[in-house]
Amino acid sequence: MGELIKNSKRVHLIGIGGIGVSGLAKILLHLNKEVSGSDNNNSPIIKKLRRAGIKVYIAQNEKNINKNIDLVIHSQAILPDNPEYKKALELKIPILSYPEAVGEIMKEKRGIVISGTHGKTTTSGLVVNLLKKLNLSPSFLIGGEIINIGNSGVGNGEFLVVEGCEYKRSFLNYHPEIAIITNIEKDHLDYYRDINDIKNAFLEFSQNIKSDGVLIYCAEDKNVKSIIKKLKVKKLSYGFSFSDVICSDITIKGRKTEFKCFLNGNKLGKVKIRLWGKHNVLNSLAVICVGIHLGFSWKEIKKGLESFKGVHRRCEILGEKSGITVIDDYGHHPTEIRSTLKCIREIFPNRRLIVVFQPHQYSRTRFLLKDFARSFSLADKIVVPDIYFVRDSLIEKKLVNAEVLVEKIRKNGKEAIYLPTFSEIVEYLCEIKKKGDVILTIGAGPVDKVAKEFLRRI
């Protein structure tokens, strides 16, 4: 652990209600720190933190910061004009960002960091489940809620599992023993110049791996492969062919996916996961590589994979009523949308698929507009509300809107409609619903509210 955190008794976290920062707060509490924090909104996460003994202020105010605080940690969403941030500067209290603080804690742990444009959360969840099933008691900080486990946990073991985000090069703060790269694509173009800039960030991250560590990477991804040859660290590859760990005979049986696994041409065995789609087969192969590197038996790895129940908002069936199946997913990138739709089509062939997609960020929508418009080819009808406004400038907000996306989708031959609010969408779905429909809400914003309200109404 870094000296700054080790020597700090009282720690205050700005933006403590966020998924990552709330998990960090629990780890700090476990390290016998006096933890406080602030957030602009109350939430179930805040209630849990208070029950754990953490003092949480609702609304960020300079009065929450005093000279008795030894360290201030802030979420990536906090800007320098934040009153608590400014007060900490005025009082000359040391300040760390969330990834900087996690990186400090990782120094005394066996870090496992999962990175990539897609698949990070599910892969992280699989790793956590594997370690927990083997009674290794990991600590973990990931970007989604593992079913029956949660998004974060404080363990007594030596492992710390972290979902490493590339936005603003946050993951460069981590020096893991094991690093996974699931894939590399264009994203966060409000920060990165182009795909080469993104690839260079992943290359730099890979160079942070400890000398006795390993890089586990997907050999199916051309952008990942292009940076691999520049690295001297030990590597383990996975994919459908020409990799250290490969799979074959992928079949979907009921609501599970079954496949055979091989290591360097030698059969490991067959596994059946409670996840859909080839993308989740790849995520599972990454975790098999983790197990192999750590010396686990095939029986142990198989147990970890097959007992995993998934992550909330990752192709999650919320309910089935009146012959209608309602699914929710977190996908917010064109590749993720295509993978999810393909997966649903395989499970529910010949059923009408209605997709409610809430774009996430104006900048992402603008930069990837054509790709988004093409990503709905497997849907029968697409409904688009207003874009979820987060992290963008007001100038960016003026450059694109949901109606432009709807028009582009229509030009690709698909039926699409713009309805600005969730309430209008729920009314529309209730009007057009038919027995046998599959309704998917998808996006990184709160679009799952549409699915839940629709289920309540029917």
Residue 449: φ, ψ to 5°: -60, -35
CB contact at 8 A, 255 and 276: yes
Is pTM beyond 0.85? Reply is: yes
CA distance 134 to 313: 26
CA distance 389 to 315: 23
Q: Which DSSP letter does residue 208 get?
A: T
Could you tell me the fold of the domain covering 3-97?
Answer: Rossmann fold (3.40.50)
Q: Which DSSP letter does residue 6 get?
A: H
CB contact at 8 A, 278 and 250: yes
Q: The tokens of 227 are what?
A: 């940076």
CB contact at 8 A, 396 and 363: yes
CB contact at 8 A, 238 and 285: yes
Domain 316-457 indexed as CATH 3.90.190.20 = yes
Q: Which DSSP letter does residue 258 get?
A: E
CA distance 111 to 113: 6
Location of each CATH 3.40.1190.10 domain in the chain = 109-306
Considering the four listed CATH numbers 3.40.1190.10, 1.20.1250.20, 3.30.70.141, 3.40.50.300, the one that applies to the domain covering 109-306 is 3.40.1190.10
Tens of each residue's pLDDT in the chain, 458 residues: 578 899 999 999 999 999 899 999 999 999 999 999 999 888 889 999 999 999 999 999 999 999 999 999 999 888 899 999 999 999 999 999 999 999 999 999 999 999 999 999 999 999 999 999 999 999 999 988 898 888 889 999 999 999 999 989 999 999 999 999 999 999 998 889 999 999 999 999 999 999 999 999 999 999 999 999 889 899 999 999 999 999 999 998 877 899 999 999 999 999 999 998 899 999 999 999 999 999 999 999 999 999 999 888 888 999 999 999 999 998 989 999 999 999 899 889 999 999 999 999 999 999 999 999 999 999 999 999 999 988 778 888 888 999 999 999 999 999 999 999 999 999 999 999 999 999 999 998 999 999 999 999 99
- 448: amino acid identity, one letter: D
Residue 136: φ, ψ to 5°: -95, 0
CB contact at 8 A, 402 and 384: yes
